[in-house]
A and B are shown apart, each in its own frame.
Chain A
Amino acid sequence: QQQVKQSPQSLIVQKGGIPIINCAYENTAFDYFPWYQQFPGKGPALLIAIRPDVSEKKEGRFTISFNKSAKQFSLHIMDSQPGDSATYFCASSMNHGNKLVFGAGTILRVKS
């Protein structure tokens, strides 16, 4: 019940494409869903986050879509650029908990 399943494991898109990364969770008590971006040699950094009271959130070229009934959420990167090449992690937590449960990560490569 504490797992977050992330797919795909890796993804290659052409510049300008729209990569989509999906996550599914089991614990219905989860109510905070962030995405983290990690470049080689760096720690993860918060990219965008959503709470279940909305179905979509946009920040620049990054969009989270959230489906509460299916217990799934996804990250879309519009007009992807080579600089977006990184590993992306989804995560989930309960609002009053101390613990972020992370997915296994997706390695994204955007070809120029």
Chain B
Amino acid sequence: ETGVTQTPRHLVMGMTNKKSLKCEQHLGHNAMYWYKQSAKKPLELMFVYSLEERVENNSVPSRFSPECPNSSHLFLHLHTLQPEDSALYLCASSQESGASYEQYFGPGTRLTVT
């Protein structure tokens, strides 16, 4: 595996379910990110981790819970989501956490909340 991988690629869940999204980077980077991408809207930064510490939390509802057990892995735990949370969730990594470092994105997880 190379670059940034995300699993699953597609997920359908009910509002009462609990699920997790997984991201893995094979680039030796120190920073990882979660973004939400909705149609015709800008990418929304959700969380930033640097060396496994959360350094940015963009007022994301508590039904989204990130976890970064090491610098190569990032999870997004989901529970009691709403239909408006349906979107493409993108993971990215960069060498360091500064925004001017090139961010490498995974292919995303397409989430549908029913």
Contacts and interface: CB of A to CB of B under 8 A. Distances in A.
Given A93-B100, A98-B98, A98-B99, A41 B107 contact: yes
Given A43-B106, A44-B105, A98-B56, A105 B99 contact: no
B55 A102 contact: no
Contact of B42 (A32, A94, A105): A105
A45 B58 CA distance: 22
B81 interface: no
Interface in A57-112: 89, 93-105
Contacts of B58: 99
Contacts of B106: 43
A55 interface: no
A95 B100 contact: yes
A32 B100 contact: yes
B98 A96 contact: yes
Overall SS of chain B's interface:
loop
B42 A104 contact: yes
Interface residues of A, number: 25
Contacts of A99: 45, 48, 56, 58, 99
B98 A104 contact: no
B108 interface: yes
A49 to B, nearest CB: 8
Please give me the 7 A-B residue pairs with the lowest Cβ-Cβ distance, nearest first.
Answer: A43-B105, A93-B99, A102-B42, A102-B43, A32-B100, A98-B56, A46-B102
23 contacts: A41-B107, A42-B105, A43-B90, A44-B90, A44-B105, A46-B103, A49-B102, A93-B99, A93-B100, A94-B99, A97-B99, A98-B50, A98-B55, A98-B97, A98-B99, A99-B45, A99-B48, A99-B56, A99-B58, A100-B99, A102-B43, A103-B42, A104-B40
Interface of B: 4, 40-43, 45, 48, 50, 55-56, 58, 90, 92, 97-100, 102-108
Given A95-B99, A102-B42, 14 more contacts: A9-B40, A32-B99, A32-B100, A34-B102, A49-B102, A96-B98, A97-B99, A99-B56, A99-B58, A99-B99, A100-B99, A102-B43, A104-B40, A105-B42
